[in-house]
Structure 1
């Protein structure tokens, strides 16, 4: 095959790739659909319209930042990068301070803490927590992403993640149906641990934020020592 024919084949392949890559029409169609859905929600339920916009913004942020919990634990082991892990640590510091403020304001102090008055969900911790964490961790590695990562990749066109989404749906339905059984067997018999009840809000926030800051610097040190991307 002559060089001219090779160049022609490369040119044809490049044109085919560029035509496939051009997704402006798909983007415009999606924006119009998103706009119609927003107007529909705005007309019928203002709260739904707000949640719809927030969902779009969160999805856009996740896709651009590649924010994924499975990647935060996978990347340090596979390539030595802790960038996403450090982002999650920073997010945990912010939410620790934010939720502590909300809960402290709602309860009104460190004394007389009642679980019924605490905003959010305070659940028992026991063997079911350990089993669930292991199953979730194993499933997350096999699926190649957490829930947010799976939805993000579906939006990017990864059709295999549809199988993972189907697994999410089936698992959620089975979990909801059998929750009463597991609640009687494990959950209801496990203790409910709310650390501010024992240490107070101020001490809890200081300790938790301090531990997270230490973990951040450990992650930074680990990346400088093991990051394969620099090799």
Structure 2
């Protein structure tokens, strides 16, 4: 039964992609195909930021933590390269350089507590909803409500925090020292996550 459903969904997805291609809407076809591929990969890998920390602390399982660390390391290297190329060509560094302050600590605590109470992060919530877990529909509703409230209050908080000190490591200590610090941090993290607990 499950195999028939999977084949039916695959056929439906192919029809949608072919429809976009027939209408020469290549961008939508590519985005739709990438979305399906991403959803499948996340569903099969059980990827979740919350479980990366939960499994490490509660079950001493480092597999997801290693995956998240590698993901962040690759992302950091990519952003570093993009910003370095922009600055070396005399442009403003791309990306949003945010202020650092007490708001990060409070936001991190609220976000972390929310993930623990919800039983997962946003990605794993979407996967569980797609798999038919009823409990996660309530979690998804909470994410939507929180996002809408956050969007309405963003201007107020932005005005308060805009005067806080901005933190951009290459602008403070330079590019090469920043690269060394990144490399050391990720090396030590991955080394620690490979050792037995």
**Normalization by structure 1: what TM-score?**
0.78
Instruction: Identify the residue that residue 49 of structure 2 maps to in structure 1.
Output: 69
Residues in 2 aligned to 1:38 and 1:170: alpha-carbon distance in whole angstroms = 32
Q: Equivalents in 2 of 1:171, 1:33: separation in Å?
A: 33
Listed one character per residue, the Cα deviations across residues 106-125 of structure 1 (whole Å, up to 9, x for unaligned) are 2216xx7x6xx222222222
Can you list the C-alpha shifts for 1:3-36, whole angstroms capped at 9, x where unaligned?
Answer: xxxxxxxxxxxxxxxxxxx312221222133223
RMSD: 1.8
Shift of 1:98: 1.6
**Residue pairs, 1:48-127, within 5 angstroms:** 48-108=28-88, 117-127=92-102
- Which SS does the other structure have where 2:99 is aligned? coil
Structure exhibiting the larger radius of gyration computed from Cα positions: 1
Distance 1:36 1:188 in 2: 48
Question: Within 1, Cα distance between the matches of 2:139 and 2:41?
Answer: 21
**CA 1:220 to 1:24, structure 2 compared with 1: closer, same or farther past 3 Å?**
same
State yes or no: 1:202 paired with 2:176.
Answer: yes
Deviation string 1:84-116 (CA, Å, 9 cap, x unpaired) is 10111112222222221111112216xx7x6xx
- TM value normalised by structure 2: 0.90
Paired residues, number: 196
- Aligned residue number for residue 4 of structure 1: none
SS at match of 1:142: helix
| Structure 1 gap segments, 5+ residues each | 1-21, 226-231
**Shift, 1:39, TM fit:** 3.3
CA–CA distance in structure 2, aligned partners of residues 138 and 23 of structure 1: 35
- What secondary structure sits across from 1:88 in the alignment? helix
Q: Where does residue 155 of structure 2 map in the other structure?
A: 180
Gaps of 5+ in 2: none
| Distance apart, 1:159 and its partner CA | 2.0
Secondary structure at the residue paired with 1:190? coil
SS of aligned partner of 2:162:
helix
Aligned counterparts of 1:176 and 1:44: Cα–Cα separation in 2: 35
- The 5 A counterparts of 1:1-231 are 22-42=1-21, 43=23, 45-108=25-88, 117-185=92-160, 187-221=161-195, 224-225=196-197
* Partner Cα distance (1:161, 1:44) in 2: 37
SS in 1 for 2:12: helix
Q: 1:41 to 1:103 in 2, by over 3 A?
A: farther
Could you say what secondary structure the match of 2:172 adopts? helix
